[in-house]
Structure 1
């Protein structure tokens, strides 16, 4: 009889995720956990069941741009994949954005929301992209205080009704620069009242099927750089569903995130409204970037978890040299390394989520606000690099099958690669981390965070591991002091290594802190084992 290999499968992605469930048990009050757990379990069921099956079946479907109809009219219609259509309805119904704005659980509403996103993301082919921008747009509009736009858009952006739910785009990148948005060439001309007209090209407009977008343009007469830009609100279509002076030139042919309809757009007098003043557009869109970078961090952790879940299941199914891979010491050791990286990334990402929740409910003091700005950059860059490495190793755990497109596995790695590019590359965010530290006046707040986390550690093996954290932070601080004496070039040249040291040090501290809690409350040593391994 011809041998056939049983493919890997997924179960309920909530009930089978020890790390997520343990974390929520520690962070959420018991009554809150009891209230949200059914919805998390349902999302876990969808992620490991219906959505995962649809994802595999939908593998070859990609967005299709039809620029002209049969009678020669320019329509620029984009058709997304069946998975994306289903994902939009599920995201709305389950409140993957709305949960953060309903504020049912105060500062912890963000923890609940991002737990949903963490479960939802890996099975929906980066539908997290428009959700991240939608969340960011909602937060940016609220921060702007523009009552007209808030009343117009927010009920849609935060709706649980799929028929009322709007997603948002974010158009910043132009041919002149990606992260260097201050060189943007799109011009805004004031027409009358609150209506402006935008003229220019947006070179990388993700999720172009969204009903609205926030974008940057330079009002005529304004000076150069980011201060001369203004933040605008655009509704893409008129009452008949036609694009409003927007030409879709083409869809991008990308390495990954191929289900995301990323387009090159030409704005030909597109009507727009100012969000917040005629200047300082880059500063005014910062709330959106903070949220999308947090989504990036959570999705990084979730993709790592997905690759590891599939690799573990396959290890029990695949027999080689007379035994299953799950019985091979070297294979188990490799998976244990991936588990340690994944757990550390998870705790780092969710610590950022906790800080955002506190920020949005006025629960942070000045030191906490400085820490939030630093960790937004450091967490995104750290988890993104971890995701690329972990997902690559997870795919290798399948041998040749991991290299075959039919399995759906290569898409995990292609999609992971975008995490260290969009919303700021590793180098760009490393420099942002330095600016955050300069504004905070140094590492005191970061060191206080480390001390707070490690203060309750009592287990001897974890105390030894905690010393690794302290040594790394002390080394980073000494390097920074020496580099400042040598000048700006030295600081910039070492910024990436410095930022990664901060990120991995804090990730380890958080993992140690959770491991101590788990030993005491759950009598479970697996988090402690992950911490010791991560520290090696």
Structure 2
């Protein structure tokens, strides 16, 4: 196939397989270059390219086998004794070794070879994004391993150091995986209803858990985090403590039963089961009755991982659609030459750009906050005169990321389902058949709006971020600053439209602050999407402005490029445009005129574009 700086020829591919996903995803390349420092980018680029090649070949091939022959649970041995054995296909064990030894978790926690500091957690998220081109199910254990490591890094007093070392190991034979068991039958999203109990055992010098968890992904993980209530603790989330519950201790099974694996629609690679604690040994993490706050730190990363997974799946679905449309002929020409298909692919590509830009910006903020905390703990060598500045940056980043992370997860999960569904349609009947990857993409995508909180739960969390962290303050400052920096005539009209929407959003935020709680909850989901649309538009317009000025993140410079101006204009028009007769009389030929630029990444000379007419 042909891959140049000018345009990608997708018609030269047979399918989105045996390719390098990093090389083909210029959207991710651009966002990584935007959010990494110069030295981080120099170190990361060749490794992300290598990882994109690994995922596009071996991992993707293995993922299809695993989907047909996934993990199986053998709870009892032939004598009827509990053994809690999960049997994995060899292809899954190969994927695990290759992916973990690529540094997907380790490099974000311990300085990798060639660096004095760990990579930002945004590096872990970029690798998860690429992994999800192949297997969203496998990404779940990867994400939880990183999440469990983050919790121990923040809250462990050193007594669980061996588990942290296992979670962050670069050597597969020394690696342990993480998990978090939250859901109980009677609670669901209401974590405060947790009934699992923890009782201190003087003889064993640890706590013992009794109770059951209903949805336990990566069920046999050695580094599992569990919420439980110590005797005498108050009801609700304020009375929960966090525990590490190993699969086994010194070669002996812990006192728990893996009752069964869930018969799921998708994400076959991750074994999800029901666990019954029967006096299982458990080790307190951090302070008692502080478990929910500690678990929330992991949940922030898990939600970002979910958003990165959604973006990766969208990327794969879009790639399969571009390839199919580029080489399937109908009525005498490839179907990507037909106007309706061109419009569909353009809008799918713009969705991909929007989801990735928003998610990577949230990842950037998350990384800033975590670096500030590591510096405050003394884990990084930072000059004293820089510590106070880092602390301020970290606090600002935290308040904004608390707003953006639940929004990223809510919006991208829903976008993944829609994109995967239409990618199946583009394949025709083949897309509905299990032999073709779009079948699995849609099955896997359906869990993304559910994992780590449904859209309703996330929308309520948005209200909490606005109330408790006053997250609207940094949000309004950042959007205003981005819009003020936009000046190029090719995007001026779009910027003016977003400025109006930004003012309206500010009014909406002020109005909701004066209303009763029920009314605010009623509007929470609409607010969540409104914030996403305005923030994403400001992001894309800012990136378009830099590209129009010849600035390319991670490069010494380049020719002015109007491709992102087209993407930003299309996003703004789709989300906020109002057209008479539903646009049928508008004369809009955007998808026909700019298909190669938006879909094929072809650069655009700004001089060839006219300022768009206001609709």
TM-score by length of 2: 0.82
Determine the C-alpha separation between the residues in 2 that align with 1:194 and 1:142. Answer: 23
Q: CA deviation at 1:108?
A: 5.8
Kindly indicate whether the alpha-carbon contact (under 8 Å) linking 2:129 and 2:312 is maintained by their aligned counterparts in 1: yes
Deviation at 1:413, TM superposition (A): 1.2
2:246 aligned to which of 221, 235, 250 = 235
Matched, 1:479 2:516: no
Q: How far apart in 1 are the matches of 2:318 and 2:129?
A: 14
Give the whole-Å Cα distance in 1 for the aligned partners of 2:90 and 2:64: 12
Which position in structure 2 is the counterpart of 1:300? 310
Kindly indicate whether residue 416 of structure 2 is the aligned counterpart of residue 387 of structure 1.
Answer: yes
Report the more deviating stretch, 342-351 or 38-47: 38-47
Distance 1:29 1:531, change over 3 A: same
- Which is further off, 244-253 or 432-441? 432-441
2: CA distance, partners of 1:365 / 1:115: 21
Residue aligning to 1:526: 563
Deviation at 1:111, TM superposition (A): 2.9
| Corresponding residue number in structure 1 for 2:85 | 77
- Paired position in structure 2 for 1:3: none
Take 1:96 and 1:415, find their aligned partners in 2: how far apart are those partners? 21
2:15 aligned with 1:8: yes
Corresponding residue SS for 2:527: helix
Q: Distance in 2 between matches of 1:382 and 1:124?
A: 20
Q: Does the residue aligned with 2:209 lie in a helix, a strand or coil?
A: strand
Partner of 1:288: 298
What stretches of structure 2 of length at least 5 have no aligned partner?
Answer: 1-12, 373-389, 552-557, 574-615
Alignment check: 8 A CA contact 1:473 1:502 kept: no
Q: 2:488 aligns with which of 447, 455, 459?
A: 459
How many residues are paired up? 529
- Determine whether 1:137 maps to 2:120: no
Q: What residue is the counterpart of 2:432 in the other structure?
A: 403
Report matched runs for 1:159-308 at 5 Å. Answer: 159-192=169-202, 194-240=205-251, 242-308=252-318
Rounded Cα–Cα distance in structure 1 between residues aligned with 2:37 and 2:472 = 31
Distance 1:360 1:442, change over 3 A: closer
- d(CA) in 2 for partners of 1:486, 1:450: 24
The CA distance in 2 between the partners of 1:120 and 1:47, in whole Å, is: 6
More displaced 10-residue stretch of structure 1: 451-460 or 356-365: 451-460
Give the structure 2 partner of residue 360 of structure 1.
370
Summarize the Cα distance change of 1:77–1:360 in structure 2 as closer, same or farther, 3 Å threshold. Answer: same
Question: Following superposition of structure 1 onto structure 2, how do residues 368-383 of structure 1 map, counting pairs within 5 Å?
Answer: 368-383=397-412
Mean alpha-carbon deviation: is it higher for 323-332 or for 81-90? 81-90
What SS does structure 1 have at the residue aligned with 2:317?
Answer: helix
Relative to structure 1, the CA distance from residue 419 to residue 125 in structure 2 (aligned partners, 3 Å threshold; closer, same or farther) is closer
Distance 2:167 2:265 in 1: 29
Alignment of 1:348 with 2:358, yes or no, is: yes
Which structure is larger by alpha-carbon Rg, 1 or 2? 2
1:433 equivalent in structure 2:
462
Structure 1 residue 360: Cα displacement: 1.2
Deviation at 1:304, TM superposition (A): 0.5
Change (3 A) 1:257 1:56: closer
1:94 equivalenced with 2:105 (yes/no): no
Mean Cα deviation higher: 99-108 or 190-199: 99-108
Deviation string for 1:114-139 (max 9, x for gaps)?
22221122213421111111111111
The answer to whether 1:114 aligns with 2:125 is yes
State whether structure 2 residue 54 is matched by structure 1 residue 43: no
Deviations along 1:38-90, whole A, 9 cap, x unmatched?
21111111121122222234331122111222333332211123343122112
Verify the 8 A CA contact 2:157 2:286 in the aligned structure 1: yes
Mapped contact 2:219–2:272 kept (Cα < 8 A): yes
Answer yes or no: is 1:469 the counterpart of 2:469: no
Which 10-residue stretch deviates more, 504-513 or 23-32? 23-32
Correspondence for 1:493? 522
How far does residue 384 in structure 1 lie from its aligned partner after superposition? 1.4
Q: Structure 1 unaligned runs (5+)?
A: 1-5
Q: CA deviation at 1:287?
A: 0.9
- Normalising by structure 1, report the TM-score: 0.94
Q: Describe the SS at the equivalent of 1:197.
A: strand
